[in-house]
Amino acid sequence: MHTIQEMLLKLAGEKNLGQMTLREIGAHIGETSPQKVKHHLAQLEKKGLLKVDKKKGEVRKTMQEWKKESEGGARILSIPILGAVNAGPAQIYADTNIEGFLKVSSALLNPAPRDAQTYLALKVVGPSMNRAEIQGKRIDDGDYVIIDIADRYGYKDGDIVLSIIDGMANIKRFRHDKENGVVMLLSESTKDFPPIYIHENDNYMINGKVVQVIKKPRFGGV
């Protein structure tokens, strides 16, 4: 669907376009050409997504469009919280006991979730990844990170991963020095944290890739 049509549909869910001029509609969606607005409104009507009632002066979404949005729209996922994860040295034991569930809109996860069961949430302890960003959000102490455990085998060099070292969990940037047979887990911090160097025979595993950061609440402008 054309971007202008998507914006028109969104606007039609908020306002009665039948009470607005083409220029007014265009101003709401950033389109300066009334003819383009008229063309895309006509296309949406042909597709059965908008209903134009000239007698009543109404332009509104059809039930077909509302139904489509309801079926394909965002949903609230219940993602299990499996304790805390260290963003510094690997000092927090990995724990498979569920401590609760983090309620997160599927719209916050990109790409769209395949299955809620492929995700888990962990609370970050420590500052060693506070310069790393996931979708523009830094990983600070007290935040939750969402881990896609389906990517435990699909991670690649440069991804931020959840790794387990000697039964202890941590979040780091994964780098693979194939020439020397060394895996490096790197911090990205305002403080100085040395890398963790791992030999291929060491007791460690990658349990998934960090795909989102849920920031801890901040109140009072703090």
CATH number of the structural domain spanning residue 209: 2.10.109.10
pLDDT tens digits, residue range 103-116?
A: 888 778 766 555 55
How would residue 70 be classed by pLDDT, with cut points 50, 70 and 90? very low
State the chain's maximal CA–CA distance in angstroms.
76
- Domain boundary pick from 46, 72, 98: 72
220 occurs within a structural domain: no
pLDDT, residue 68, reads 46
Domain-ending residue, one of 21, 55, 72: 72
Examine the domain organization and report whether 63 and 80 are in the same domain: no
Do residue 84 and residue 139 come from a single domain?
yes
Residues in the chain, total: 222
What would the pLDDT profile of 206-221 be if each residue is shown by its tens digit?
888 999 999 988 765 4
Whether residues 136 and 203 share a domain: the answer is yes
Q: Domain check: are 165 and 109 in the same one?
A: yes
118 shares its domain with 176? yes
221 in any annotated domain: no
- Report how far residue 124's alpha carbon sits from residue 86's, in angstroms, rounded to the nearest whole number: 6
DSSP state of 17: G
Q: Are residues 195 and 89 in the same domain?
A: yes
Contact 92, 168 (CB under 8 A): yes
Clarify whether residues 188 and 83 are in a common domain.
Answer: yes
| pLDDT tens per residue, range 147-192 | 888 766 678 899 999 888 877 788 999 998 888 888 899 999 998 8
Q: In terms of domains, do 67 and 83 share one?
A: no
**How many CB atoms are located within 10 Å of the residue 87 CB?**
27
Query: Rounded to the nearest 5 degrees, what angle is found at the Cα of 150, between the Cα atoms of 148 and 155?
Result: 80
Percent of the chain with pLDDT over 70: 78
CA-CA distance, 57 to 60, in Å (whole number)?
10
> Residue 96: which domain range?
76-214
Last residue of a domain, one of 54, 72, 90: 72
Report the distance separating Cα 171 and Cα 198, nearest Å: 14
How many domains, the chain? 2
CA dihedral of residues 139, 142, 143, 144 (deg, nearest 10): 120
Which residues are within 8 A (CB) of 72 and not within 5 positions of it... i.e. 6 or more apart? none
Distance CA 99, CA 181 (A): 37
d(CA 121, CA 144): 6
What CATH number does the domain containing 26 carry? 1.10.10.10
**50 close to 9: Cβ distance less than 8 angstroms:** yes
Confirm if 160 and 171 have CB atoms less than 8 A apart. Answer: yes
CA distances from 163 to 18, 35, 80, 149, 207 (A): 56, 55, 18, 11, 6
